[in-house]
């Protein structure tokens, strides 16, 4: 039976993975639904209840980080409580915790290595994607025994290239560094396709195309998800993964 907390559930071998949406939460007003972010002006008790509901859904305590659009990757300690740290990706081989990354148009990327027993989650917005957060995440997973050829990946719900309008100079700068991000909106203006860029990066890093899932909705177009472009005062949903 599907859960109201799970908007999308990609099949990644070696892991339980999900993308939350707005459904199933207790937040109200601008943040109505399952807002998981403490920094967006939502009621603190509502956020904590939403996080508790997510932990119940995934069957483990959920680890969050303070995200800053960097390429920093945090490896969880082998045992014990995980302190709140600043990073934009996390890696672990633990089974007793789940990793979560919050977004509202940026890319939530989930990675699982069922052979080495390593999972990871990354926040890939424009800045982080161009700074190499996905490459760095795979490098850190390799330090725990991962081979890219064994990886399963899901690039989750995010704003699409037909909607992510940016200034022409920003598009040109991004495309000079990652050509696959060059795009045009459905109304003919410059845009960025971060999802295409992420797929290209993961494939270049050695993730098999057959193990790479990027078929997910546009957050601006699909109101099941929070979107900062749709409403600047809004909540955050999450990509979540737990080693199985």
CATH number of the domain at 102, please: 3.60.140.10
pLDDT value, residue 174: 98
Closest CA to 225 of 69, 48, 8, 1: 8
pLDDT of residue 54: 97
pLDDT of residue 85: 86
Residue at 193 is within a domain:
no
Helical (H) or strand (E) element with 140:
helix 133-143
Residues with Cβ < 8 Å from 110, sequence gap 6 or more? 10, 12, 15, 17, 119, 120, 121, 153, 154, 156, 239, 240, 241
pLDDT of residue 1: 41
Domain that holds residue 49: 6-158+212-243
Q: Is residue 17 part of a domain?
A: yes
| Cα→Cα distances 14→81, 164, 171, Å | 23, 33, 37
> Residue 113's pLDDT is what?
98
114 assigned to some structural domain? yes
Please give the average pLDDT of every successive group of 10 residues along the chain, which has 244 residues: 85 97 96 97 97 97 96 92 89 97 98 98 98 98 97 98 98 98 98 98 97 97 97 97 96
Examine residue 179 and state whether it is found in any structural domain, yes or no. no
Rama region for 24: left / alpha / beta (φ>0; ψ in -120 to 50; rest): left
Query: Quick one: pLDDT at residue 78?
Result: 87
Classify residue 120: in a domain, yes or no: yes
Helix and strand totals (H; E) in the chain: 5, 13
The predicted pLDDT at position 102 comes to: 98
User: Which residues are CB-neighbours of 52 under 8 A, at least 6 positions away?
Assistant: none
Q: How far, rounded to the nearest angstrom, does the alpha carbon of residue 219 sit from its chain's CA centroid?
A: 12
The confidence score (pLDDT) of residue 84 equals: 79
Considering only CA atoms, which of 69, 110, 90 is closest in space to residue 228? 69
pLDDT of residue 82: 80
Task: State how many domains the chain has.
Answer: 1
pLDDT of residue 121: 98
172 in any annotated domain = no
Cβ–Cβ under 8 Å, residues 152 and 114: yes
pLDDT attached to residue 2: 65
Structure tokens at 136: 């760095």
Residue 3: predicted pLDDT: 86
Under 8 Å between Cβ of 239 and 156: yes
Query: Is 235 inside any structural domain?
Result: yes
User: Is residue 110 classed as helix, strand or coil in its secondary structure?
Assistant: strand
Within a domain: 189: no
DSSP result, 184-201: E-TTSSEEE-HHHHHHHH
Q: What strand order describes the sheet that includes 97-103?
A: 6-8, 15-20, 237-243, 97-103, 61-63
């Amino acid at each position: 039976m599907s859960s109201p907390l799970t908007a999308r559930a990609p099949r990644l071998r070696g892991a339980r993975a999900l993308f939350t949406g707005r459904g199933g939460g207790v937040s109200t007003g601008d943040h109505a639904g399952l807002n998981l972010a403490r920094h967006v002006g939502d009621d603190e008790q509502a956020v904590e209840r939403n996080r508790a509901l997510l932990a119940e859904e995934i069957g483990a305590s959920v680890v969050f980080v303070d995200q800053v659009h960097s390429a920093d990757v945090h490896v969880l300690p082998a045992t014990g409580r995980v302190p709140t740290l600043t990073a934009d990706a996390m890696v672990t081989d633990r089974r007793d915790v789940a990793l979560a990354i919050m977004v509202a148009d940026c890319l939530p990327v989930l990675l699982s290595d069922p052979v080495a027993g390593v999972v990871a989650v990354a926040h890939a917005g424009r800045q982080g994607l161009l700074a190499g957060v996905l490459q760095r995440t795979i490098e850190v997973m390799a330090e725990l025994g991962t081979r890219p050829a064994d990886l399963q990946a899901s690039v989750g719900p995010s704003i699409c290239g037909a909607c992510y309008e940016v200034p022409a100079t920003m598009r040109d700068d991004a495309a000079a560094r990652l050509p696959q991000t060059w795009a045009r909106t459905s109304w003919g203006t410059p845009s960025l396709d971060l999802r295409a860029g992420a797929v290209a990066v993961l494939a270049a890093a050695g993730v098999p195309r057959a193990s790479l899932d990027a078929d997910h909705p546009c957050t601006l177009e699909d109101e099941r998800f929070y979107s900062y472009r749709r409403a600047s005062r809004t909540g955050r949903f999450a990509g979540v993964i737990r080693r199985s």
